[in-house]
């Protein structure tokens, strides 16, 4: 059981489940709220939840323990996350969740491309075929072709 809880596969699957719930809850939540303000509310909730988790697990650490390089990339990641959320909530407000979410998941394809280009990560031919299928599937779902 302990090794199962330490597997990346479990946490990735849970991430997918919570991402799916995010789309459903957000679609209902932005019905009568500005999408940017809805993103703000979501961010405050996330900040409180993470602070609670850090407190419960004793995970707080001094900012001085984070290298400048790590800090820079975490800030850039935070800015990209914020931009993604703002765009996602606006898209949900304007479109169907079942069509918006697959386009958002094209991020899987982009991560594979960016990881190969910028991080030197390698996928097998089968891996690239899977990436192509994810991309094609997302486009088919979103466009209804």
Token couple for 15: 């991430």
> Treating both helix axes as pointing N-terminal to C-terminal, what angle do 8-29 and 68-94 enclose, rounded to 10 degrees?
40
The whole-number pLDDT of residue 112 equals 97
60: tokens are: 């707080």
Condensed to tens digits (0 to 9), the pLDDT of residues 71-104 reads 999 999 999 999 999 999 999 999 999 999 999 9
Strand, coil or helix: what is 144?
coil
Q: Any idea where the domains of the chain sit in the sequence?
A: 2-95, 105-145
Q: What is the rounded CA–CA span in Å between residue 130 and residue 31? A: 35
- pLDDT given for residue 144 in this prediction: 82
d(CA 12, CA 14): 5
Q: What is the pLDDT of residue 82?
A: 95
Q: How far apart are CA 59 and CA 65, in angstroms?
A: 13
Please report the pLDDT score of residue 114 as a whole number: 97
48 half-sphere exposure, CB direction, 13 A CA radius: 6
Q: What is the pLDDT of residues 50-78, one digit of tens each?
A: 999 999 999 999 999 999 999 999 999 99
For residue 2, is pLDDT > 80?
A: no
Q: What is the pLDDT of residue 45?
A: 97
Higher pLDDT, 3 or 65: 65
Kindly tell me if the per-residue pLDDT of 145 is higher than 80.
no
Confidence class of residue 1 from pLDDT cuts 50, 70 and 90? low
For the chain, the average pLDDT equals 94
As a whole number of angstroms, the distance between CA 61 and CA 101 comes to 35
CA 136 from chain centre, in angstroms, equals 20
């Amino acid at each position: 059981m302990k090794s199962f809880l330490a597997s990346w596969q479990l946490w990735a699957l849970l991430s997918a489940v919570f991402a799916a719930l995010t789309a459903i809850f957000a679609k209902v939540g932005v019905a009568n709220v500005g999408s940017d303000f809805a993103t703000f509310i979501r961010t405050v909730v996330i900040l409180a939840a993470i602070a609670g988790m850090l407190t419960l697990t004793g995970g707080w650490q001094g900012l001085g323990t984070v290298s400048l390089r790590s800090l820079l990339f975490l800030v850039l990641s935070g800015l990209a996350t914020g931009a993604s959320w703002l765009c996602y909530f606006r898209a949900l407000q304007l479109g169907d969740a079942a069509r918006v979410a697959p386009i958002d998941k094209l991020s899987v394809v982009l991560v594979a491309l960016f990881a190969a280009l910028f991080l030197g990560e390698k996928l097998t031919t089968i891996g690239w075929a899977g990436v192509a299928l994810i991309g094609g599937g997302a486009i088919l779902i979103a466009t209804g072709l």
